[in-house]
Amino acid sequence: RVRPWMSAILAPSPRLSPRAVVVTRPRRVVRVSASAEPCKRVKVCVNKECKRAGSNRTVALFEAAAAADASLEVTTQVCLDECGLGPNVQINGDDGPIVNGVKSQADVDAVLAKLAGGEDGAMASSSETIRVGFIGAGIMGVPMAKNLLKAGHGVTIWNRTASACDPVVAEGATLAASAAEACEKSDVIFVMVSDPAAALACAEAAAPGLSAGKGYVDVSTVDAATSTEIAALVRGTGAMFLEAPVSGSKAPAEQGALIFLAAGDRQLYDRVAPHLEVMGKAHFFLGDVGAGANMKLVVNSVMGSMMASFAEGLTLTEKAGLDRETLLEVISLGAINTPMYALKGPNMIKGAFPPAFPLKHQQKDMRLALELGEKLDVTMPVANAANEMYKVAQGKGKDDDDFSAVIVALEK
């Protein structure tokens, strides 16, 4: 029997597009039993500390099986110990064997086969057998690649500056000598680089290692024209292409809480869904190449404008002789409260801007969003004014600081 809390897993939320997959985590023990006396038991263990992505997807797959099999009982439990490849599944009671990394339908079918008296050999996991490549080892790429490693995926990594890969190699990744080699040794390749020029250069360097059956997933933020050019290059090798720019910065990347805005080859999107769920809390499929790129520019344009307005408010508060800490508290209690203000505000007051999302990248995204607006004949006075503030901050040497350093544009 499906409990009400599972409706968000088994059916699209009325507040979300059916193209969205949101990874949620159970916060309590839930027990669902068929009416008949169960003789087969499965317990899905979720690690609360690491917030392992994909857990509720696994629960939903087992619940669907239980709905069709009265002898199957499924229990979910929050576990406080390490969950290994996660989510873990324990078979036939607390003393039964534990199977790691149960994420896909194939994984669930293998567990059910064990319950039915099938072979006890290693479980065939479709997601675990996919060889993963990663191109880019910057602020975002390093934690994303690390999360893939922590989830049990083998990773081959390449970066133009090889030493930037050291933190990932130290945790078990294989260092490739070139982008092409990273692709040759991988089935799917994720790319996270700084700008359109770098993304195109990486695709050109990677192309000799691509071929039919491989997938190339560019999670960088670029404009739709560049993404279309990369797609043509990748598909020309016989490989599939997916753009999947992310919403989120350093902390969400570390926490596996990014949001992926994907478009391109749907088959590849379905194939890499388990990987997206390791690195993120939600992923959307938006259609043809360019749709993901454009959505990301809209999101970052709004974010950049919000930060510029916030910087104005903090500056005006100080000049009016008011306490800026009190402003943060007032904002936190009202309708305009946002995690971004709570996170960035205290450091902005101190004049400290540790980079989570560099200001130069925010300005680049504002520029690309304004170019999109001009192309579509959309007037964007707020974004345009915010963009000028970022350019002033760049002129004051804040390129590599966090984008919250836009506040220095208001200093006299």
Both structure tokens of 16: 């979300």
Over residues 178-208, the pLDDT tens digits come to 999 999 999 999 999 999 999 999 999 999 9
Instruction: Return left, alpha or beta for 367; rule: phi > 0 is left, psi -120 to 50 is alpha, else beta.
Output: alpha
Nearest to 206 by CA among 219, 220, 217, 195: 217
How does residue 47 score in pLDDT terms, banded at 50, 70 and 90? low
Q: What angle do CA 110, 113, 117 make, to 5 degrees?
A: 140
How does residue 411 score in pLDDT terms, banded at 50, 70 and 90? very high
What pLDDT score does 128 carry?
42
Q: Which amino acid is at 113?
A: A
114, 250, 296, 398: which is the annotated catalytic residue?
Answer: 296
Task: Find out whether 34 and 73 touch, Cβ atoms under 8 Å.
Answer: yes
Stretch among 60-74, 230-244, 344-358 having the lowest mean pLDDT? 60-74
Residue 279 CB burial class (10 angstroms; 0-12, 13-18, ≥19): buried
Q: Does pTM top 0.85 for this prediction?
A: no
Average pLDDT value over all residues in the chain = 84
296 is catalytic: yes
How does residue 30 score in pLDDT terms, banded at 50, 70 and 90? very low
The alpha carbon of residue 310 and the mean position of all alpha carbons in its chain are separated, in whole angstroms, by 26
How does residue 85 score in pLDDT terms, banded at 50, 70 and 90? very low
What pLDDT score does 266 carry?
95
- DSSP letter at 137? -
DSSP β-bridge partners for residue 22: 282
pLDDT exceeding 70 applies to what percent of the chain?
Answer: 78
Stretch among 7-16, 179-188, 350-359 having the lowest mean pLDDT? 7-16
Mean pLDDT value across residues 77-95: 56
Over residues 374-398, the pLDDT tens digits come to 999 999 999 999 999 999 999 999 9
Task: Find out whether 71 and 40 touch, Cβ atoms under 8 Å.
Answer: yes
